[in-house]
Amino acid sequence: MKLFSRREPVFGRTSKRDIPAGLWTKCDACGQLIYNKALDENLRVCPKCDFHFPLPAPQRLRLTLDEGSFKEWDADLAPVDPLQFAVPTPYAQKVTEEQQACGMRDACVTGKGRLDGHEAVIGVTDSRFMMGSMGSVVGEKLTRAIERATELRLPLIIISGSGGGARMQEGMLSLMQMAKTSSALTRLDAQGGLFISVLTHPTMAGVLASFATLGDLIIAEPKALIGFTGPRVIEQTIRQKLPEGFQRSEFLLEHGLIDLIVHRRDLKAILAQLIASLSS
Asked if 61 and 124 count as a contact pair (C-beta separation under 8 A), the reply is yes
270-274: average pLDDT = 94
Residue 243 is predicted with a pLDDT of 76
- CA-CA distance, 125 to 60, in Å (whole number)? 10
pLDDT digits (tens, 9 = 90+) for 154-164: 999 999 988 77
- pLDDT band at residue 170 using 50, 70 and 90 as cut-offs: confident
- pLDDT band at residue 2 using 50, 70 and 90 as cut-offs: low
Q: Comparing 28-37, 134-143, 228-237, which segment has the lowest mean pLDDT?
A: 228-237
Give the residues across from 109 on adjacent strands.
124
Q: How many residues does the chain have?
A: 280
Within the chain, what is the greatest distance between any pair of CA atoms?
A: 91
Where are any strands of DSSP class E within 45-142? 71-73, 108-115, 118-125
Amino acid at the residue 182: S
pLDDT digits (tens, 9 = 90+) for 197-227: 999 998 888 888 889 999 999 999 998 888 8
Residue 18 is predicted with a pLDDT of 56
Answer whether residue 87 shows pLDDT above 90.
no
Residue 274 is predicted with a pLDDT of 94
173-190: average pLDDT = 94
Asked if 185 and 211 count as a contact pair (C-beta separation under 8 A), the reply is yes
Work out whether strand 195-199 and strand 203-204 pair parallel, antiparallel, or are unpaired: unpaired
Answer whether residue 179 shows pLDDT above 90.
yes
DSSP code, position 258:
-
Answer whether residue 34 shows pLDDT above 80.
yes
Answer whether residue 8 shows pLDDT above 60.
no
121-131: average pLDDT = 91
pTM: 0.85
Residue 20 is predicted with a pLDDT of 63
- Give percent of the chain above pLDDT 90: 47
Q: For the chain, where do the domains classified as CATH 3.90.226.10 start and end?
A: 53-278
Superfamily name with CATH number, domain 53-278 = 2-enoyl-CoA Hydratase; Chain A, domain 1 (3.90.226.10)
9 preceded by cis ω (within 30°)? no
